[in-house]
Structure 1
Amino acid sequence: MAGTGPIGVIEDEENAYTGTRVWRASLAELLGTAVLVFAMDTIVISSYETQTKTPHLIMSFLIAVTITVLLLATFPISGGHINPVISLAASLTGVISLSRAAIYILAQCVGGVLGALALQSVVNTKIEQTFSLGGCTLTIVVPSANGPLVIGLETRQALWLEIICTFVFLFTSIWIAFDKRQAKHLGRVVVCSIIGVVVGLIVFISTTVTSTKGYAGVGMNPARCLGPALIRGGHLWNGHWVFWAGPVFACVAFALYTKLIPSQLLHN
């Protein structure tokens, strides 16, 4: 009977082990994303609350350090994704299976919610309302002499920023991690550091170039945007689709780009 011989037993054990590893890895993704959301949103809030002259610079530097540390912590277990963008890009380029990417993304979204809940439990109501739990926003409503006024960035501009910045993120840093030859040559610490620095630079650029109140800057991580939106609600849902659609478009564009590269350059 099929599956009753030695080969069948080995296959069953291997499948069970693989399944266990995937779920263990998804737990690492969940916890990593939860810590990421809590840490990043705390950094955003504290950077502005301290009233420093260079909040964007300090915020970007701290985010770069945080990303690097969390990637190093989760890499041995799950590959260090902690971002649906990386999981989707890895799936589209053949690095991981679609099913594994789906499990990772679900875990990351749950982690984003837990991170937002943790942040909500430690900040006071005033800070929560002022910074919307550090969530991703396109616009906010502010009082004015003529009544409530909506300020922020146009949806079209925000969408293009998400697409361009996410593609730059994938092209300049994640590409190195996916390329086995470069990753092996540079080493884990260097690769994770490069990813952290690139994220920090993109955050700095997106928050300073636009310089628009009401716009929180590029998300590049739908799970991070989803957490505060589910917990805080309200205006965080306005244009929330942009923080999903933009990265997805960028992932597809990145995958198409990799198809143009000879396969021997990717897997040597």
Structure 2
Amino acid sequence: MEGKEEDVRVGANKFPERQPIGTSAQSDKDYNEPPPAPLFEPGELSSWSFYRAGIAEFVATFLFLYITILTVMGFFKSPSKCATVGVQGIAWAFGGMIFALVYCTAGISGGHINPAVTFGLFLARKLSLTRAVFYIIMQCLGAICGAGVVKGFMGHKQYELLGGGANFVSHGYTKGDGLGAEIVGTFVLVYTVFSATDAKRNARDSHVPILAPLPIGFAVFLVHLATIPITGTGINPARSLGAAIIFDKDRAWDDQWIFWVGPFIGAALAAVYHQIIIRAIPFKARA
């Protein structure tokens, strides 16, 4: 036990925070900071790994919409809400699918499954504009196909009667309320993504890369619990767009801008907060 206690003591103090406010990482780095991705990387277009990553994003978003929208449909279809999974079950469906899909695709595409996540990581120079645009297109296509399969199962009439899983601002809330909920909810998600995938933290805590999908999925679950009553919870423009296109009613299209503007603002704020405040990377490099 004495040896283990010594290991714990040394491990806890092995990587102390030594840098003053406004500087980059500590003087003796115990990790490798990935270089910023180029804005344009034409060479990616001739690489199979580039297209494989896009396919992974398409399939993951397809499965995400299929499971989650079908769960929402089952909730609204039942005459007794006590006999369904309830709001908590819907939140678990969204969070659980993100957990599973990020785990499956993280090593292939990074496991974004969300244009807002892709946008935030692009702002932090974690991927090129070429890849970011490709990911967002594939995510949206996957979401449309996923919602379309659900409609095929449910039937046109029943699907429309049950609302199609589309996002819109609920009665009793203003569009400003909905926009604010989407901004804060997406901030929580994207900030969790940055924290869970931080190279500096991964170097200090060897378990972080393995557990990264768990906090990301749990963040999605918690945000859904909070904002389902307000907007049905978008925080993912592809999810909102896919459901709106297949549902195709004015109610979904009237508020569609909220589910793009809100998540993109939230993602941008999370990127700025993590990179500039938490990591302080752009302020001053060490001589």
TM-score interval, normalised by the smaller of the two chains: 0.7 to 0.9
Matched, 1:112 2:143: yes
Larger helix share, 1 or 2: 1
Match of 2:66 among 29, 38, 50: 38
Conserved 8 A contact 1:116-1:227 = yes
Q: CA 1:68/1:91 → structure 2, altered by over 3 Å: closer, same or farther?
A: same
Question: Whole-Å Cα distance in 2 between the matches of residues 233 and 33 of structure 1?
Answer: 19
Most deviating of 58-67 and 76-85:
58-67
- Give structure 1 stretches of 5+ with no counterpart: 1-13, 140-150
Match of 1:94 among 105, 121, 125: 125
Structure 1 residues 86, 16: closer, same or farther in 2, change over 3 A?
closer
Report if aligned partners of 1:132, 1:228 keep a CA contact under 8 Å in 2.
Answer: no
1:64 to partner: Cα distance: 1.9
Cα 1:238–1:93 change in 2 (3 A) is same
For structure 2, the 5+ residue unaligned runs are: 1-41, 283-287
Superposition pairs of residues 9-20 of structure 1, within 5 angstroms: 15=43, 19-20=47-48
Question: Does 2:273 correspond to 1:238?
Answer: no
Please state if 1:163 is matched with 2:163.
no
1:18 offset after TM fit, Å? 6.4
**How many Å apart are 1:99 and its aligned residue?**
1.5
- For residue 152 of structure 1, report the CA deviation from its aligned partner: 5.1
Partner of 2:265: 249
For the aligned residues, what is the CA RMSD? 2.2
Structure 1 runs, 4 residues or longer, greater than 4 Å off: none
1:176–1:183 Cα contact (<8 Å) kept = no
Distance in 2 between residues matched to 1:182 and 1:22, nearest whole Å: 27
> Which 10-residue stretch deviates more, 221-230 or 125-134?
125-134
Distance change (3 Å), C-alpha of 1:63 and 1:189 = farther
Number of equivalent positions: 233
Q: Give the Å deviation of 1:16.
A: 6.4
- Does the CA-based 8 Å contact 1:72-1:188 persist in structure 2? no
Q: Structure 1 CA distance, aligned partners of 2:218 and 2:77? A: 24
Cα 1:34–1:58 change in 2 (3 A) is same
Distance 2:45 2:87 in 1: 45
**From 168, 174, 177, the counterpart of 2:193:** 174
Cα distance change, pair 161–133 in 1 and its aligned pair in 2 (3 A): same
Contact 1:35 1:115 in 2 (8 A): yes
- TM-score, L = length of structure 1: 0.80
Find the aligned partners of 1:42 and 1:87 in 2 and give their Cα distance: 25
- Structure 2 length normalisation: TM-score? 0.75
SS of residue matched to 1:206: helix
1:240 aligned counterpart, secondary structure: coil
After superposition, the Cα gap between the structure-2 partners of 1:16 and 1:101, relative to the gap in structure 1 and judged at 3 Å, is: closer
Q: Residue 132 of structure 1: CA displacement?
A: 2.3
Counterpart check, 1:223 vs 2:238: yes
**1:4 matched to which residue of 2?**
none
Partner amino acid for 1:203?
H
Q: Deviations 1:148-169 (Å, cap 9, x if unpaired)?
A: xxx3531110001011111122
Query: Superposition pairs for residues 59-138 of structure 1, below 5 Å?
Result: 59-138=90-169
What's the secondary structure of 2:162's corresponding residue? helix
1:11 aligns to what?
none
Return the alpha-carbon distance in structure 2 between the equivalents of residues 47 and 186 of structure 1. 36
- Secondary structure of the equivalent of 2:163? helix
Q: CA deviation at 1:22?
A: 1.1
Task: For 1:219 and 1:16, locate their aligned partners in 2 and report how far apart those are by CA, in whole Å.
Answer: 31
